[in-house]
Amino acid sequence: MKKIFALLSAILIIGCVPMATPRDVADSTTLKFDSYAKKYAVMGGNLYDVHEKNSSVNSSHASLSGELTKGAEAEDIDLALSCHFKYWFFLDRAIDSDGIKFKAAVLSRDVISGDDLSELVMIEFKRSYLESKKESGLNIKFYGDSGSVIIRVPSFYIIGFLEKYDQYSRQVKEPQR
């Protein structure tokens, strides 16, 4: 029993190691194939506590993802944000530091416990937009009827994700031997 607990503890600790370089991000980015949709999904690792200090936000994490299809150019990248709040913010919109507005797709809203409410939202943007943020990183305000949260995705995360995304894109385009 002690061995199982030690193994689980090690896995949890390893899973919470923060990413600090583009290589860390590339190493945590995975490729998965959906045999029904015949598409690949490139999924970046989670970036934890991406929100600016806000007493109403318990925690947050964000990740980038995108789809790849054989023979098609990959254009759209998604940014998913999961936040735990003390009360509902009803996030459904976003705006970046340059004034570009995004419609946020609400993926879920859940009650975790009495004062821990979870909202999962996603915005989509073109690859070219993400390329333009490689040096500065992303600075996006998600907001809704009852509150807002500002998140920051550092440039190293964008660089590492795009590096692995491009590698997977080339891999998917090449014929299997």
Model confidence pLDDT, tens digit, residues 2-11: 333 333 333 3
Looking at residue 70, its pLDDT comes to 67
Query: Where do we find the tokens 């109403």?
Result: 56
Residue 103 lies in a domain: yes
Residue 4 lies in a domain: no
The CATH number given to whatever domain includes residue 168 is: 2.60.40.10
For the cut 80, the answer to whether the pLDDT of residue 133 exceeds it is: yes
Residue 126 lies in a domain: yes
Which of 36-40, 62-66, 132-136 shows the lowest mean pLDDT across its residues?
A: 36-40
The values of phi and psi at residue 90, to 5°, are: 55, 50
Instruction: Answer for the pair 59, 83: CB distance below 8 angstroms, yes or no.
Output: yes
Residue 115 lies in a domain: yes
- Mean pLDDT in residue range 81-89: 91
- Mean pLDDT in residue range 36-50: 87
For the cut 70, the answer to whether the pLDDT of residue 165 exceeds it is: yes
Residue 12 lies in a domain: no
Instruction: Answer for the pair 155, 135: CB distance below 8 angstroms, yes or no.
Output: yes
Q: Supply the mean pLDDT for the chain.
A: 83
Domain span including residue 136: 20-173
Domain count, the chain: 1
Residue 152 lies in a domain: yes
Residue 153 CA to residue 139 CA, distance in Å, equals: 7
- Token pair belonging to 64: 């980038």
